[in-house]
Structure 1
Amino acid sequence: MSRLIRGGRVVTATDAFDADVLIEGESIAAIGTGLSADEEIDASGCLVLPGLVDNHTHLSMPFGGTWSCDDYDTGTAAAAAGGTTCIVDFIIQYVGGSLKDAREEWHGRADGAAHIDYGFHMAITDAQPNVIAEMGDCVEQGITSFKVFMAYKGALMVDDEQFLAVLEETGKTGGLVMVHCENGDAVVRYQKEAMAAGNTSPKYHAWSRPPEVEGEATGRAIRLAEWTKRPLFVVHVTCEESVNEIRAARDRGLPIFGETCIQYLYLTVDDLDRPDFEGAKYVCSPPLREEKNQAVLYQALRQGALQGISTDHCPFNFKEQKELGLGDFTKIPNGLPAIEHRLTLLYDRSVRAGHMSVVDLVRHGSWGPARIFGLDKKGALAPGFDADVVVFDPDVKHTISASTHVMNVDYDPFEGWEVQGKPRFVLSRGETVYADGKVVSEPGRGRFVKRSIFEPAVAS
């Protein structure tokens, strides 16, 4: 069956223009005028965008003795409601475990549950020689990116020797290394100092992880990548200190790439100081920063130092989960719910506010992530690409609230925000998954996507 999205304004990573979009089966067949189809979707007054790609999510992730509370059903349903049609989620290797076992466990969680298409990154937390030897198998199976943590000492953190081993192995097998940049040793020291002084509230989470800790680790990670002649992707960049390191590396011609996340564009460190332990809702790592960093992040996106805006969606309920840190901020599970709100917030608080254009939104939220992470048929409205399409109404006004969101979490960090713009229809491979305010797809229709290898010659 063919479908025609008629009467909208098509937005790509380079242009915006009035045209219709013809879908044949699961793919886009044509963009233009004078087209016809078996069925029509009225997009009058709407923007027609490629479905967003969220390359940084944590569904059903174990952390600090608990689990993130969106699984592959609820998390991908919320993504669909927000205009995201493909995610790349993180598999976490257990210390002492194999990559094969971790891979099978995460496939088991996602199979038969996802509403939209998904891929996986592999997070390596225990880079022993036998584990390094498994990286080639991951690449062959379409898991072509590997994450290392420079923080979370005693749990997820690798040392520089292990980091180098991961980088060097991708030189043999292919694959892109991603890195969480914070000096984990410094964080532990500052946490101990805060607790010893009786400073136990959520705001000290940010105090113990200052921008300098992120900047130092970013610079060190870049040097390790430079020594091994490998590209590197820096996740969730928050501050000027980190941006400066990335920009300097790219100015030297190094293939260093990075992203920021919506929470760092719209929330600030002041949210961690909310009364009655409400600040715990805003604990994530790296932490929220002072407002002045938001202008730095926008500039980095405009100038190409950063190539994407993701969510790092990792939700924990306030009750019973975030409350694990009552009296000890180090025990607050790190993460925020955001997967459902990225498109609306980017449009309302970034495009309408003049920080970027709607073309920029597509480039940073769809096209760029799809290209870097090897999603060859995602992120574009063009013949031959998957028919992942969002019909976005730029005029509808609504209020964000935990009482109405789809995410399976008991609070919303953007509670009460009045915003403008919302998806009217969302299509995944030509099939409607969200329409008129409701998720209409069934769990399990989403497919695992094998990804190609990203091998840039130089920074671009």
Structure 2
Amino acid sequence: MKKVIKNGTIVTASDTYEADILIEGEKIVAIGSNLPEAGAELIDAKGTYVFPGGIDPHTHLEMPFGGTVSKDDFETGTIAAAFGGTTTVIDFCLTNKGEPLKNPIAVWHNKSKDKAVIDYSFHLMISEITDDVLEQLPAVIEEEGITSFKVFMAYKNVFQADDETLFRTLVTAKELGALVMVHAENGDVIDYLIKKALDEGNTDPIYHALTRPPEVEGEATGRAAQLTGLADSQLYVVHVSCSQAVEKIAEARSKGVDVWGETCPQYLALDQSYLEKPNFEGAKYVWSPPLREKAHQADLWNALKSGSLQTLGSDQCSFDFKGQKDLGKGDFTKIPNGGPMIEDRLTILFSEGVKKGRISLNQFVDISSTRIAKLFGLFPQKGTIAVGTDADIVLFDPNVERVISADTHHMAVDYNAFEGMSVTGETVSVLSRGEFVIREKQFVGKLGRGKYLKRAKYGEVISNKEEISI
């Protein structure tokens, strides 16, 4: 059935204007005034911004970690994402050394099958680079459309890869047209600091932050950027949390190195003091990198405004406070790392960013959707509102005031990291490929309708493979 969205203010990464949108099937077929309405369902968007659907480039749904599994899966996680205005997520396939790469990819396809209510894709973790792995990577790109590889520089003896693995991944990615992502923390130094803290009897949640100081993130970020320049490759630094890492990314970019940076809403709105909450409540705020002292927030916002950081991911990895986070009572290293962020990503960016004058409305769209689509091979199918694109559309009320709470969120987890925060702005309705997922703040989607997206190579358009400027 045709749909016409009327009376809204369309906002893209470059323009803000009033127009109507005609949708046929899954696509936008016309934008303008006096569009043909015969036989069409009319959707009144008066008083709302009409955004392209948000793209979350960084989620961990149903992810095993620390002897447990993250609480939100591809059903609850994508429903919560949709309530927050996100219409596409990119999750991470975790690998094991010596295992054929097709195996973890199959596991993640199985996790998402018949569950996702919005579209999704995968990144692939690289834990080792052997001749066998190198032989498999072209098929991962060509057959699965997975064109981004994740390397961990932290979590020693669990996920951490050495510098040779990172460098060879960068070299290979340049040859194959993939984007390398890094979790940039110096895992060896962190391991030393953790052992020292435990030996001294320091076991409370705050020591998660104190054993992962910003210097170890800055050092690893700078090292990864240097290796990227040496390999003449491309790098995407995930969940940037501190001034030191921002500085290293900006420095590398000023020298012409192809480096991009992502931050997350938790680092923009929360600070290290949350880990000192009494009664072990600080465990709710344990994730990596950790929350920083409040002074770092201004540098993160300034980096988003200036373009030194370009995207916002959620790093969604939720664990219940009771029954999961409390596994670390008496030993902060046993607290599962991660938090529930997928639903509030866009609200935090809008309320703390646009409403407080830190970023513009068009930057909001670029940071939360358009730039991500371009970097990860989804543009122009996703990430903008234009004739021929997927009808992934969010109607967003910019004036409603509300308080974030676990009592009203849609994630499966038993707490909200932003509990009690007053915010301005709320998603009203969401369409994914022309069909309502959220309508007037009610879920009307269908489990399994979300489609797996094969993505174009780095720097290429998904539809016709022409080069684009990113």
Verify same fold: TM over 0.5.
Answer: yes
2-structure distance, mates of 1:454, 1:95: 26
Residue aligning to 1:333: 336
Residue aligning to 2:134: 132
CA-CA distance at 1:21 after TM superposition: 1.4
CA-CA distance at 1:224 after TM superposition: 1.2
SS of the aligned residue for 1:133 comes to helix
2-structure distance, mates of 1:172, 1:165: 11
Residue aligning to 1:324: 327
1-structure distance, mates of 2:420, 2:116: 29
1:355 maps to 2:392:
no
Contact 1:250–1:459, Cα closer than 8 Å, also in 2: no
Residue aligning to 2:26: 26
Residue aligning to 1:248: 251
* Residue 101 of structure 1, aligned match among 84, 103, 106: 103
SS of the aligned residue for 1:447 comes to coil
* Residue 237 of structure 2, aligned match among 234, 248, 254: 234
CA-CA distance at 1:56 after TM superposition: 0.4
CA-CA distance at 1:126 after TM superposition: 3.1
CA-CA distance at 1:194 after TM superposition: 0.8
User: What letter corresponds to residue 15 of structure 1 in structure 2?
Assistant: D
Residue aligning to 1:8: 8
Contact 1:93–1:126, Cα closer than 8 Å, also in 2: no
Task: Provide the aligned C-alpha RMSD in A.
Answer: 1.4
Q: What is the TM-score of this pair, normalised by structure 1? A: 0.98
Distance 1:156-1:458 versus aligned 2 partners, 3 A rule = farther
Q: Any idea what the Cα deviations from partners look like across 1:379-399, whole Å, max 9, x if unmatched?
A: 100011100000111122222
Residue aligning to 1:409: 413
TM alignment of 1:95-244, pairs within 5 A: 95-140=97-142, 141-244=144-247
1:385 maps to 2:389:
yes
- Among all aligned residue pairs of Structure 1 and Structure 2, give the percentage whose two residues are the same amino acid: 50
CA-CA distance at 1:237 after TM superposition: 0.6
SS of the aligned residue for 1:119 comes to strand
* Residue 434 of structure 1, aligned match among 438, 444, 456: 438
User: What letter corresponds to residue 39 of structure 1 in structure 2?
Assistant: E
TM alignment of 1:72-111, pairs within 5 A: 72-111=74-113
Alignment gaps of 5+ in structure 1: none
SS of the aligned residue for 2:296 comes to helix
1-structure distance, mates of 2:413, 2:23: 35
Question: Runs of 4+ in structure 1 displaced over 4 angstroms?
Answer: 456-460
Contact 1:28–1:384, Cα closer than 8 Å, also in 2: yes
Q: Any idea what the Cα deviations from partners look like across 1:69-126, whole Å, max 9, x if unmatched?
A: 1111110010011100001110000233221101111111111110000010001123
2-structure distance, mates of 1:273, 1:163: 35
Alignment gaps of 5+ in structure 2: 461-466
Residue aligning to 2:277: 274
* Residue 260 of structure 1, aligned match among 246, 263, 269: 263
1-structure distance, mates of 2:468, 2:54: 26
SS of the aligned residue for 2:51 comes to strand
Residue aligning to 2:52: 50
* Residue 372 of structure 2, aligned match among 369, 372, 376: 369
2-structure distance, mates of 1:388, 1:455: 22
Contact 1:393–1:421, Cα closer than 8 Å, also in 2: yes
User: What letter corresponds to residue 417 of structure 2 in structure 1?
Assistant: P
User: What letter corresponds to residue 234 of structure 2 in structure 1?
Assistant: P
Q: What is the TM-score of this pair, normalised by structure 2? A: 0.96
* Residue 303 of structure 1, aligned match among 303, 306, 326: 306
2-structure distance, mates of 1:328, 1:356: 40
SS of the aligned residue for 2:449 comes to coil
Residue aligning to 1:63: 65
1-structure distance, mates of 2:279, 2:130: 44
Contact 1:127–1:158, Cα closer than 8 Å, also in 2: no
CA-CA distance at 1:455 after TM superposition: 3.6
Residue aligning to 2:347: 344
2-structure distance, mates of 1:219, 1:303: 19
1-structure distance, mates of 2:217, 2:301: 18
SS of the aligned residue for 2:180 comes to strand
2-structure distance, mates of 1:174, 1:71: 30
